[in-house]
Amino acid sequence: MSEGIAILTSGGDSAGMNPAVKCAAEYAAAKGYKPWLVYDGLRGLIDDKIVESSRELVSGILHRGGTILRSSRSKRFFDINFRRQAYENLKKRGIGKLIVVGGDGSFRALNQFYADFGIPFAGIPATIDNDIAGTDYCLGVDTALNIIRQSVDSIRDTATSFSRAFVIEVMGRHCGYLAMVSALACGAEICLTPELPYNLDAIGAKLKHEIRNEGRGYILAIVAEGTKMGDYLTRWINDSIGMEARLTVLGHVQRGGSPTVYDRIMAYKFAVAAVDSLHAGNTNAIMVYRDGTFGHLPIHTVVDSKYKLDPALLKLCMPLCG
């Protein structure tokens, strides 16, 4: 009987998860494995929501956002007894390998699972914050950026029509990647992120000069949610600069949407790398994309390292912080 590989998605959803699931299942079958799908993430491992993959189950999912396998964050998985239950569910089906599409919390959970029961896994990084150490790219980032770009472009139409300022809050509790790239791509005048210090006095002086002397008619500001500056910056623009300001919080619209071409192709490449890594006998490896090349790193190298933004990106955004 062919050895089984189970595929699950865990943690926050992101566009690109479905293409990754489809490719991993099909490529695993082509390599001689029996692919299985786990519904509801870690919770599904415990509750035995494990189904043998079929053409029908993975057909027509490339264009869909989110994850057809659904996701969850399971507190029960911290309990060894529930992890043992998950192991028994895999063992009775002959599943000896796992692929998880998610973030570092999911990777840590399966690393503990490996320590307990010796089930190796390959991790595919998927989070729109793009904040997993060791990889330049995580699935879902390009789609999220395009959704933000489309939203900001639409907001600019109203900003120019009414000569207003708009503050747009994007996701990123601990990482300002989305805010920085969006601010540069959309031509924002202000960008506030957790990584860069800002000087509102300098920003205000510059914008007032442009309004008085250069005919500036509107302002776009993009802030990362982790700064908690959305409301304050909106009031500050209104009171200190004297331009009517509005706040738009984009929220979870950034996580959904049909995956872009780039996310679909990256999903395929990550999935092939994950299956190949397991086939080669690697355990607890996280797939990474660095400097245009796909590879893998041991889980501890990834989860024990602090993610650092590209210094060139930080330098480009510094003028937007005053």
Are the C-beta atoms of 186 and 317 separated by less than 8 Å? Answer: no
**Burial degree of 311 (CB within 10 A; 0-12, 13-18, 19+):** exposed
Element (H, E) at 191: strand 190-192
Task: Please report, in angstroms and rounded to a whole number, the separation of the first and last CA atoms in the chain.
Answer: 64
Are the C-beta atoms of 201 and 322 separated by less than 8 Å? Answer: yes
> How far is the C-alpha of 191 from the C-alpha of 233, rounded, in Å?
11
> How far is the C-alpha of 218 from the C-alpha of 269, rounded, in Å?
42
Of 129, 131, 142, 263, the catalytic one is 129
Element (H, E) at 198: none
Element (H, E) at 229: none
The count of C-alpha atoms lying within 13 angstroms of the C-alpha of 268, restricted to the half-sphere facing its C-beta, is: 7
142 included as an active-site residue: no
Tokens representing 237 are 């623009």
> How far is the C-alpha of 221 from the C-alpha of 233, rounded, in Å?
9
> How far is the C-alpha of 150 from the C-alpha of 129, rounded, in Å?
18
Residues with catalytic function: 129
